[in-house]
């Protein structure tokens, strides 16, 4: 989209402010130690001529769908893992190493031809999703790595434990506690030993995945819907932070209705620039009604911490304990028909005429904020999350 930026250190930011963080960095920037979540001020110190670009999530979503289509034309996409990652099954006749590599190179060529000549892709070929994901991360930005079950652990033992999907900071500490500091030591454990380390069946599954076994776990129902927003400098005060939360709550309620779920708990979080974060939640009667959620938000906000000079930096709202409509029990003491009609009318007007056409007034001063953003494992619905 911006050919003049190619080959230059680039940072993608939610807004042009030194106090915010990068949400992505080009490989040219990463060479200087600038990466995702690096503070903008620090990035400028490390790279005085870094090019900062404000994120355009709708364009990224469009490119995501183009990329999925281009890959699926060559190899069937079984699962989309995130905005830039997907899993394909090798078609019959392509399961030898030579044929699989041929297919992988066809995917690279089709992405360049159909989506963008500067778009790079790293592909991992392996007997299961776990090892394929690891292989795809071993050679970037334009890699092609084959990882057979018999290559493990020799071909990966130079990697840190956290290179393995599913091992984060806390799990690494737990593994170290059990005397496991390397991938070779991890691989040497029995399934029973890893069950003890994990504290459950997850350890046995990890043992199998590390040996190339595909583990199929039933997908759980949706468990939460949420939005967060980094406040621009002019909104870093209590009143504007609340207005943004009001706006995010209205967006979340619309999403809730679109997937036809009901929420039983509402949580909010405020990160401060110069003070500890504040979190609070409240239980609800099962609802998908915007006004009910806004009333719950208002009640929680009355407990906002009285901290002198504390500056809110980021706000987040999350709907929890979700249940599909088929599991919803209506209240015996009130009728929801009027609420349903009101919510349906607002949703219809918003979808047809945009976010400014109809909304509850508490969000008025923040109507142009709380814009759509891409989470690591959630591809936004452009229609409802603008």
For residue range 79-138, list pLDDT tens digits in order: 998 889 999 999 888 989 999 999 999 999 999 999 999 999 999 999 999 999 999 999
Please indicate, yes or no, if residue 269 is contained in any of the structural domains. yes
Last-in-domain residue among 55, 75, 96: 55
CATH code of 254's domain:
3.30.1490.100
pLDDT of residue 258 exceeding 70? yes
Stretch among 13-27, 182-196, 286-300 having the lowest mean pLDDT? 13-27
Question: Which residue shows structure tokens 């142009």?
Answer: 368
pLDDT at 50: 97
Confidence category of residue 356, pLDDT binned at 50, 70, 90: confident
Q: Is residue 20 situated within a structural domain?
A: yes
* pLDDT for the residue numbered 293: 96
- In the prediction, which pLDDT does 32 show? 96
The answer to whether the CB of 110 falls within 8 A of the CB of 87 is: no
Q: What share of the chain is helix, strand, coil (3-state, %, to 5)?
A: 40, 20, 40
The pLDDT assigned to 331 comes to 66
Mean local confidence (pLDDT), 34-42? 93
How far apart CA 109 and CA 127 sit, in angstroms, is: 23
Confidence of residue 350 (pLDDT cuts 50, 70, 90): confident
Strands (E), the chain: 10-13, 24-25, 51-54, 77-82, 85-88, 123-125, 144-146, 224-230, 261-272, 278-287, 312-320, 323-324
Cα–Cα separations (whole angstroms), residue 8 to 31, 37, 47, 375:
11, 19, 11, 25
Model confidence at 377: pLDDT above 70: no
Polymer length of the chain = 386
Average pLDDT, the chain: 90
| Structural tokens at position 314 | 């980021």
pLDDT of residue 343: 87
In a domain, 124, yes or no: no
**Has residue 220 got a pLDDT over 90?**
no
Q: What is the mean pLDDT of residues 207-212?
A: 96
Predicted confidence (pLDDT) per residue in 318-343, tens digit: 999 999 888 777 666 555 667 888 88
Residue 206 lies in a domain: no
The domain spanning residue 48 has which CATH number? 3.40.1170.60
Domain end call among 17, 35, 55:
55
What is the model's pTM? 0.69
Residue 345 counted as domain residue: yes
> Which domain does 380 fall in, by range?
224-385
CA gap 143, 139 in Å, rounded:
5
Q: Is residue 100 part of a domain?
A: no
Q: Decide the pairing of beta strands 261-272 and 224-230.
A: unpaired
Query: Residue 363: inside a domain, yes or no?
Result: yes
Residue 222 pLDDT class (50, 70, 90 cuts): low
Average pLDDT over residues 60-68: 92
Residue 210 lies in a domain: no
Answer whether 164's CB lies under 8 Å from 152's CB.
no
Q: Is residue 376 over pLDDT 60?
A: no
Instruction: Report how many domains make up the chain.
Output: 2
Q: What is the mean pLDDT of residues 240-259?
A: 93
The encoded tokens of residue 61 equal 């979503």
At residue 348, the pLDDT reads 86
Mean pLDDT of 356-371: 78
């Amino acid at each position: 989209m911006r050919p003049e930026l190619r080959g230059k250190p680039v940072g993608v930011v939610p807004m042009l402010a030194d106090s915010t963080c990068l949400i992505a960095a080009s490989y040219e920037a990463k060479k200087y130690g600038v990466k995702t979540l690096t503070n903008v001020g620090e990035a400028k110190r490390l790279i005085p001529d870094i090019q900062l670009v404000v994120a355009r999530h709708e364009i990224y979503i469009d490119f995501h769908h183009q990329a999925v289509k281009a890959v699926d034309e060559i190899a069937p996409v079984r699962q989309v893992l995130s905005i830039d990652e997907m899993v394909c099954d090798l078609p019959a006749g392509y399961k030898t190493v030579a044929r699989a590599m041929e297919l992988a190179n066809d995917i690279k060529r089709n992405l360049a031809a159909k989506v963008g000549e500067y778009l790079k892709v790293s592909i991992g070929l392996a007997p299961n999703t776990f090892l394929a994901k690891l292989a795809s991360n071993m050679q970037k930005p334009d890699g092609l790595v084959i990882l057979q079950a018999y290559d493990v652990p020799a071909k990966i033992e130079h990697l840190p434990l956290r290179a393995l999907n599913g091992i984060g900071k806390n799990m690494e500490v737990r593994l170290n506690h059990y005397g496991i500091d390397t991938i070779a030591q991890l691989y040497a454990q029995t399934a029973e030993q890893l069950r003890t380390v994990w504290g459950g069946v997850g350890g046995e599954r990890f043992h199998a995945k590390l040996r190339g076994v595909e583990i199929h776990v039933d997908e759980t129902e949706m468990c939460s819907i949420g939005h967060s927003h980094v406040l621009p400098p002019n909104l870093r005060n209590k009143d504007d932070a609340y207005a943004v939360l009001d706006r995010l709550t209205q967006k979340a309620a619309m999403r809730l209705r679109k997937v036809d779920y009901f929420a039983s708990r509402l949580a909010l979080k405020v990160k401060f620039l110069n003070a500890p974060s504040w979190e609070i939640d409240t239980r609800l009667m099962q609802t998908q009604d915007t006004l009910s959620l806004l009333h719950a938000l208002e009640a929680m906000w009355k407990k906002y911490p009285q901290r002198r000079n504390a500056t809110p930096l980021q706000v987040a709202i999350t709907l929890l304990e979700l249940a599909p409509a088929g599991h919803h029990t209506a209240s015996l003491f009130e009728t929801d028909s009027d609420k349903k009609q009101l919510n349906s009318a607002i949703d219809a007007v918003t979808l047809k005429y945009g976010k400014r056409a109809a909304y509850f007034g508490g969000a008025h001063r923040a109507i142009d904020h709380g814009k759509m953003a891409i989470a690591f494992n959630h591809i936004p619905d452009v229609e409802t999350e603008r």
